Amino acid sequence: MPGAPVEPHLFIVLGGRGDLMRRKLLPALARLILQGFLKEDCQVLGAARSPELDDGKFRALAREALAAADLFADDQIARWCDECLHYQPIGRGGTEDYRSLAARVEALERAYCLPGNRVFYLAMPPAAFPNAITGIGETRLNRGPGWTRLVIEKPFGRDLASAQELNRLIHRFFDESQIFRIDHYLGKETVQNLLVFRFANAIFESLWNRDRVESVHITVAENLGVEKRADYYEQAGALRDIVQNHLTQLLTLVAMEVPAAFEADAIRYEKVKVLRSISPIRPEDVVFGQYERAPMDDGDVPGYREEPGVAPDSTTETFVALRLEIANWRWQGVPFYLRTGKRLPRRLTQIVVTFRYPPVSLFRPFDACEIHANVLIITIQPDEGFDLSFEVKAPGQPITLLTQRLHFRYAEAFGPLPDAYETLLLDILTGDQTLFVHADEVEASWRLYTPLLEQKPPVHPYPARTWGPVAADHLLAREGRQWLNL
Sheet holding 286-292, edge to edge: 401-409, 385-393, 375-381, 348-355, 213-221, 335-341, 319-325, 286-292, 459-463
122 and 210 housed in the same domain: no
Residue 453 resides in a domain: no
Instruction: Tell me if 484 is assigned to some domain.
Output: no
Task: Give domain status of residue 111, yes or no.
Answer: yes
**Percent of the chain residues past pLDDT 90, beyond the cut:** 57
Beta bridge partners of 392: 402
Q: What is the pLDDT of residue 360?
A: 64
- What are the residue numbers of the active site? 246
Q: Are 429 and 9 in contact (CB under 8 A)?
A: yes
Verify that 326 and 473 share a domain, yes or no: yes
Domain membership of residue 372 (yes or no) is yes
Query: What pLDDT sits at residue 131?
Result: 94
Q: Are strands 335-341 and 43-48 parallel, antiparallel or unpaired?
A: unpaired
Residue 175 domain flag: no
The number of folded domains in the chain is: 2
Higher pLDDT, 357 or 239: 239
pLDDT of residue 89: 92
Residue 120 inside a domain? The answer is yes
**Boundary (domain end) residue, out of 153, 168, 198:** 153
Determine the average pLDDT of the residues in 325-340: 96
Q: What is the mean pLDDT of residues 113-120?
A: 94
Chain centroid to CA 69: 21
* Domain CATH for 100: 3.40.50.720
Contact 66, 77 (CB under 8 A): yes
Q: Are residues 246 and 389 in the same domain?
A: yes
Q: Are residues 51 and 123 in the same domain?
A: yes
Looking at per-residue pLDDT, the higher value among 485 and 479 belongs to 479
Contact 345, 223 (CB under 8 A): yes
Q: Given pLDDT bands bounded at 50, 70 and 90, which one contains residue 2?
A: very low
Distance of alpha carbon 463 from alpha carbon 479, whole angstroms: 25
Average of per-residue pLDDT values in the chain:
89
| Lowest pLDDT segment from 57-61, 187-191, 396-400 | 396-400
Same domain (yes/no): 231, 379: yes
pLDDT for 396 equals 67
**Assigned domain for 167 exists:** no
pLDDT of residue 209: 92
Q: How far apart are CA 82 and CA 55, in angstroms?
A: 9
Query: Do the domain assignments include residue 54?
Result: yes
If asked whether residues 122 and 237 sit together in one domain, one would say no
User: How much is the pLDDT for 363?
Assistant: 58
Please tell me the predicted confidence (pLDDT) of residue 1: 47
**Do 117 and 211 belong to one domain?**
no
Asked whether residue 405 carries a pLDDT value surpassing 70, the answer given is: yes
Residue 221, pLDDT > 50, answer: yes
C-beta atoms surrounding 21 within 10 Å: 24
From the CB of residue 330, how many other CB atoms can be counted at a distance below 10 Å?
A: 16
Are 149 and 190 members of one domain?
A: no
Residue ending a domain, choose from 103, 132, 153: 153
Q: Is the pLDDT of residue 5 over 90?
A: no
pLDDT: which is higher, 191 or 478:
478
Least confident of 147-156, 287-296, 312-321, 403-412: 403-412
The domain that holds 368 is classified in CATH as 3.30.360.10
**Among residues 153, 172, 195, which one ends one of the domains?**
153
Question: Which segment, 16-30, 58-72, 185-199, is predicted with the most confidence on average?
Answer: 16-30
Q: Which residue has the higher pLDDT, 115 or 403?
A: 115
- Domain of residue 345 covers 186-418+458-477
Question: Is residue 323 located within the same domain as residue 209?
Answer: yes
Whether 37 has a pLDDT exceeding 60, the answer reads yes
Q: What is the mean pLDDT of residues 141-170?
A: 92
Average pLDDT over residues 413-436: 87
Separation between Cα atoms, residue 483 and residue 486, nearest integer Å: 9
Q: Tell me which of 203-212, 275-284, 367-376 is least confident.
A: 367-376
What is the separation, in whole angstroms, between the first and last Cα of the chain?
A: 32
Nearest to 195 by CA among 434, 408, 388: 434
Distance from C-alpha of 50 to C-alpha of 89, rounded to nearest angstrom: 6
Residue 397 has pLDDT above 80, yes or no: no
Over residues 241-260, the mean pLDDT reads: 92
Quote the percentage of the chain above a pLDDT of 70: 95
* Whether residues 209 and 144 fall in one domain: no
**Shared-domain flag, residues 196 and 114:** no
Same structural domain for residues 334 and 463? yes
The pLDDT of residue 229 is 83
Query: Using 50, 70 and 90 to split pLDDT, how confident is the model at 198?
Result: confident
- Cβ atoms of 29 and 425 within 8 Å: the answer is yes
